[in-house]
Amino acid sequence: MNAVEVKKDVYWVGVKDWNLVEFHGYKTPHGSTYNSYLIMDDKITLVDGVKHYLTDEQLARIQSLVDFSKIAYIVVNHVEQDHSGSVPALMKLAPQAKIVTNAMGKRALEDHFDTTGWEYVIVKTGDSLSIGRRNLEFVTTPMLHWPDSMMTYVKEDKLLLSNDGFGQHYCTDALFVKDAKFDVVMREAQSYYANILFPYGAQAEKALNTAGDLGLDIEMIAPSHGCIWSGEKEVSAILAAYGKWASGKDEGKAVIVYDTMWGATATLADAVMSVFQDAGIPVVKYCLSNKDVSEVMVDFLDAKYICVGSPTLNNELFPRVAAFLTYMKGLQPKNKKAFAFGSYGWKPGVVNNIQAVFEALGWETVAPFEEKYTPKSDVVEKIKERVKEMIA
């Protein structure tokens, strides 16, 4: 349980959660990490806590370096409990430490915990805190993805402690991206953005612009989940990726999401897919019986066309489709062209529920398409014509 040095006198004192399989309904097949960083300076500073059930492991790593009585500051970049869960235990062991956070962070800590006796240093974007040889600078990033979220920049080390920004739910022996498989880490960073930060593209763009306006010279990004980005190539790669994802720009591709009971909706989905293929439009197709929603959402980041199909069950949407729509709607993808389709046996109309979600998101749509029982060849041709309307 030793600490690991990531920069001179800056140590990783986080924990690895190999057994995590789900986070907010987002599947995490590779587990996750809760990264915390201890800065050894004249005023020893801890940045971020960990999830409560791994507190003892974090405490052991800290204690391998320093006695708790010598910690001067605990920076709380974000109060969600995968980061703040260990803070009450830390404050019991280090009651002299001052909590460094923003005004919303203080309020959130008080909402979550008994903070009696805690002292605070309240910061905002552009504020600086000297801890000796180093100066910590702060960038508040509200709604990326909580109102209290912020990042801490260690100026002398060109180190950005970015909390949820640039992270991945990815547990590996490798602490640094350079020691892992780059394409895997980037895919997990993309999945993290798609399933957690997707609704906050404007805030992500603002945070990137603020960092540029402040002139932050960054050679290492150490997030609170996953691997650490180090060196110009890696830092530039993840900053560019966030710029692209936050912009909402599509790459013209299509995503088809559906479920099926007796194959009718699957037949319609195949017909929809064939239109995109014949038009030379990149397309992916997911059946929700064997694909988790969190995997599907990654392709929404750069999709232009979204097609969702459902069979009818008890006069309602098929449950997996209904669950997908709820999950997807909460992530608020923008600027899509959409098509709702499906099948029914006795009573039509459930495709209107899909259409209602599209309209609530402000997407451009064509009229929904619905067929009774098994689609015949003429019906297949009709749905193809509807898809052609969308891509015309």
Which of 174, 149, 157, 191 lies closest to 228, judged by CA?
174
- The span from the CA of 78 to the CA of 133, in Å, is 25
d(CA 221, CA 248): 23
Beta carbons within 8 Å of 272's beta carbon, 6+ residues apart:
256, 307, 309, 339, 341, 383, 384, 387
Set 73, 169, 200, 225: catalytic member = 225
The active-site residue, picked from 11, 17, 37, 78, is: 78
Residues 302-325: b if buried by 16+ CB within 10 A, e if exposed? bbbbbbbbbbbbeeebbebbbebb
Active site residue 24: yes
Whether 164 sits among the annotated catalytic residues: the reply is: yes
Q: Would you call 78 a catalytic residue per the annotation?
A: yes
Active site residue 82: yes
What are the distances in angstroms from CA 253 to CA 6, 244, 250, 276? 40, 15, 7, 9
- Examine the residue annotation and report whether 80 is marked as an active-site residue of this protein: yes
How far is the C-alpha of 243 from the C-alpha of 198, rounded, in Å?
12
Active-site residue, selected from the candidate residues 17, 80, 188, 299: 80
Of 5, 24, 42, 56, catalytic: 24
Q: Could you tell me which of 154, 174, 152 has the C-alpha nearest to residue 234?
A: 174
Residue 112 among the catalytic residues? no
Does 250 qualify as catalytic in the annotation? no
Cα radius of gyration rounded to whole Å, the chain: 24
Q: Which of 17, 164, 299, 302 is catalytic?
A: 164
Tell me which of 17, 48, 82, 302 is the catalytic residue: 82
Residue ranges of alpha helices (H) inside 260-376 are 264-278, 293-300, 319-331, 351-360
Choosing from 11, 83, 145, 188, which is the catalytic residue? 145
**Residue 145 among the catalytic residues:** yes
Could you give the residue numbers annotated as active site?
A: 24, 78, 80, 82, 145, 164, 192, 225
